[in-house]
Amino acid sequence: MANPSILILAGDGIGPEVMAEVKKIIGWYDAKRGITFDVSEDLVGGCAYDKHGTPLHDDTMAKAQDVDCVLLGAVGGPKYDSLDFSVKPERGLLRLRKEMDLYSNLRPAQCFDALADFSSLKKEVVAGLDIVIVRELTSGVYFGEPRGIFTEGNERVGINTQRYTESEIARVARSAFELARRRNNKVCSMEKANVMESGILWRQVVQEIHDKEYPDVELSHMYADAGAMQLCRWPKQFDVIVTDNLFGDLLSDAAAMLTGSLGMLPSASLGAPMANGRPKALYEPVHGSAPDIAGQGKANPIACILSFAMALRYSFDLGEEATRLEQAVEKVLADGVRTADLMGPEGGVPVSTSAMGDAIIAALDASL
Ligand code: NAD
Ligand code: IPM
Ligand code: MN
C-alpha cells in the first residue's frame, strides 16, 4: 500500500521557518517510528504570486485535492499589500479552503501549565484551560455575494454579504456536536441573532440539529460580543464553541492570548470524508506570516508542530503518536525552553525557532 501523502505549502514570512521544524519531526517519525509519509512541496501565497502571477496555481490546487492532507505555514506580507485584491496572498488560502470545502475549522486553545503564569490574564483564569472553537470556514461574509467596491451617486460603497444556508449551518453544527461528544459534551453557539437575520437562522438551525440528533449534548447560545467578553472573563466555562467564519476568526485570535501566544495555536480545517474514510483536511497554525519577525529565526514553531499533531490524529488515525508529540511539546515548555514570544517581563534567554524544534525532537527521543 502507498505511504500516506502530505502536501506542504510553507508559504511566506515565518511560514517556511516554522515548517522547517515540522519537516524535522516528519523525519523523526520516519527514522524512529517507521511511519513514512510521501511528502511533496509547493507554493502558496506571495511566493506563488512571485513565481506564477497567482497566489495558488491550478496545478497546486489539483495536488491539494489529491493528497491525504495539506500542511500550510502562513501567507501574506507587506511586500504584497499593494497587489490587486484578486491576487493577494490571502486569496490563495481562501481558494484552498473553499475548493476543498473545508467547512469545519477546529481551533483548540489549550493553556499548558508551564505557560499559565505567562498569559496576560490571571493564572487562575487560564490554568488548565482546554477549549475548542469550531469556526465555519467556507461561507458567511468571507464568500457571500454581492461583494465589491461600487460607485453610488458621487461616492464609493464597499459591500460584503453575510449569507448562510441552512445546510451550511447544519453541517458545522454537527461537527461541533460530534466533537463535544468526544470531549465534555458541551456546546456554546455564538452569533448575533439580536441584529442579524443570518444569526437568527444560525440559532434556529443549531437548536434543531441539537434537538433532533444530539439531545444528550448540553447546548447554550450566546451573542458573539458577550461571548468575547466571557472568553476573557472566565474561559473555562466553555468546552466547544461553534460560530461563523468572521466571528470565529476574531474569537480564535482572542483565545490565542489565553494560551500565552499566538505562536501556540494550531488548527485543523476539515471537510467531507474522502474515499479512505478520513476527512479532506488542511492543517495550519492560527497565526500569520509575522512580517515583523520573519527571517530572524525568532518564530515559535509550536503552533505549526501542534497542527501536525492534529494531522496525525485526524488524517492518519495516529492518536497515540499525536499525544506523544503534544506531550513532547509540554515537556519542553515545562523544562523552561522558550522562544521570544513566550518570554515574560522577567526576561531570560530565548531560543531560536530551530533550537525549539531540536528540543522537541529530543523530548520525542526521550519518549521512546
Ligand atoms: P500575524 O499572526 O502574522 O502576527 C501578529 C503578531 O503575532 C506579530 O507581532 C507576530 O510577530 C506575532 N506572531 C505570530 N505568529 C508568531 C509565532 N509563530 N511566533 C512568534 N510570534 C508570532 O498577524 P498580522 O501581523 O496581522 O498579519 C501578517 C500577515 O499574515 C498578513 O498578510 C495577514 O493577512 C497574514 N495572515 C495569514 C494567516 C494565514 O496564513 N493563515 C493568518 C493570519 C494572518
Ligand atoms: C486566519 C487568517 C485568514 C482568515 C486570512 C489570512 C485569510 O486570519 O486563518 O485566521 O481571515 O481566515
Ligand atoms: Mn485570523
pLDDT of residue 117: 85
Q: How many domains does the chain have?
A: 2
Q: How far is the CA of 207 from the centre of ligand 3 (A)?
A: 27
* 281 lies in the same domain as 360: yes
For the chain, how many residues are written? 368
* 142 lies in the same domain as 234: yes
Who's near 116: CB < 8 A, 6+ residues apart? 123, 126, 127, 128
% of the chain exceeding 90 in pLDDT = 92
Contact 133, 107 (CB under 8 A): yes
Mean pLDDT on 112-122: 88
State which ligand 2 atom lies nearest to the alpha carbon of 76: 6
Q: Mean of the per-residue pLDDT values for the chain?
A: 96
In this structure, is residue 120 part of a structural domain?
Answer: no
Whose C-alpha lies nearest to ligand 1, atom 10? 290
* 138 lies in the same domain as 237: yes
pLDDT of residue 344: 72
Asked whether the predicted pLDDT for residue 1 surpasses 80, the reply is: no
- Final residue of a structural domain among 258, 293, 322: 258
Ligand in nearest proximity to the CA of 135: 2
Contact 9, 43 (CB under 8 A): yes
pLDDT of residue 257: 84
pLDDT of residue 123: 93
Contact 166, 206 (CB under 8 A): no
Give the other-Cβ count within 10 Å of 122's Cβ. Answer: 10
In this structure, is residue 121 part of a structural domain?
Answer: no
* 79 lies in the same domain as 168: no
CA distances from 91 to 46, 86, 142, 211, 230 (A): 10, 7, 11, 37, 32
Helix (H) or strand (E) holding 353: helix 353-366
- Final residue of a structural domain among 258, 284, 307: 258
pLDDT of residue 136: 98
In this structure, is residue 327 part of a structural domain?
Answer: yes
* 34 lies in the same domain as 69: yes
pLDDT of residue 120: 84
State which ligand 1 atom lies nearest to the alpha carbon of 285: 41
Q: How far is the CA of 238 from the centre of ligand 1 (A)?
A: 26
Grid coordinates given for 278: 478520513
Which of 219, 262, 266 is CA-nearest to residue 238?
A: 219
Q: Which of 31-40, 97-106, 202-211, 273-282 has the lowest mean pLDDT?
A: 273-282
Active-site pick, 42, 239, 249, 341? 249
* 34 lies in the same domain as 70: yes
| 32 part of the active site | no
Segment 299-346, tens digit of pLDDT = 999 999 999 999 999 999 999 999 999 999 999 999 999 999 998 777
Mean pLDDT on 48-53: 98
State which ligand 2 atom lies nearest to the alpha carbon of 97: 12
pLDDT of residue 4: 95
In this structure, is residue 18 part of a structural domain?
Answer: yes
* 339 lies in the same domain as 318: yes
Active-site pick, 192, 214, 331, 341? 192
pLDDT-based confidence at residue 184 (cuts at 50, 70, 90): very high
Q: Which residues of 62-78 are buried (b: 16+ CB within 10 A; e: fewer)?
A: ebbeebbbbbbbbbbbe
pLDDT-based confidence at residue 295 (cuts at 50, 70, 90): very high
In this structure, is residue 152 part of a structural domain?
Answer: yes
Who's near 279: CB < 8 A, 6+ residues apart? 270, 271, 272, 273, 314, 315
Grid coordinates given for 82: 499593494
Is 68 annotated as belonging to a binding site? no
* 41 lies in the same domain as 159: no
* 295 lies in the same domain as 239: no
In the three-class reduction of DSSP (H, G, I as helix; E, B as strand; rest coil), residue 189 is classed as strand
pLDDT-based confidence at residue 126 (cuts at 50, 70, 90): very high
| 225 part of the active site | yes
Q: How far is the CA of 279 from the centre of ligand 1 (A)?
A: 27
Asked whether the predicted pLDDT for residue 54 surpasses 90, the reply is: yes
In this structure, is residue 125 part of a structural domain?
Answer: no
- Final residue of a structural domain among 242, 258, 274: 258
pLDDT of residue 107: 97
pLDDT of residue 260: 84
Is 12 annotated as belonging to a binding site? no
For the sheet containing 5-11, what is the strand order? 38-42, 5-11, 69-74, 279-283, 268-273, 104-110, 130-136, 240-243, 186-191, 218-223
Looking up residue 219, the CATH number of its domain turns out to be 3.40.718.10
* 271 lies in the same domain as 177: no
| 192 part of the active site | yes
In this structure, is residue 312 part of a structural domain?
Answer: yes
pLDDT of residue 256: 86
Grid coordinates given for 29: 517519525
Whose C-alpha lies nearest to ligand 2, atom 3? 90
Mean pLDDT on 121-147: 96
Ligand in nearest proximity to the CA of 269: 2
Q: Which domain holds residue 188?
A: 130-258
Dist. CA 247–CA 245, nearest whole Å: 6
pLDDT-based confidence at residue 98 (cuts at 50, 70, 90): very high
Asked whether the predicted pLDDT for residue 119 surpasses 90, the reply is: no
In this structure, is residue 70 part of a structural domain?
Answer: yes
Segment 200-258, tens digit of pLDDT = 999 999 999 999 999 999 999 999 999 999 999 999 999 999 999 999 999 999 998 88
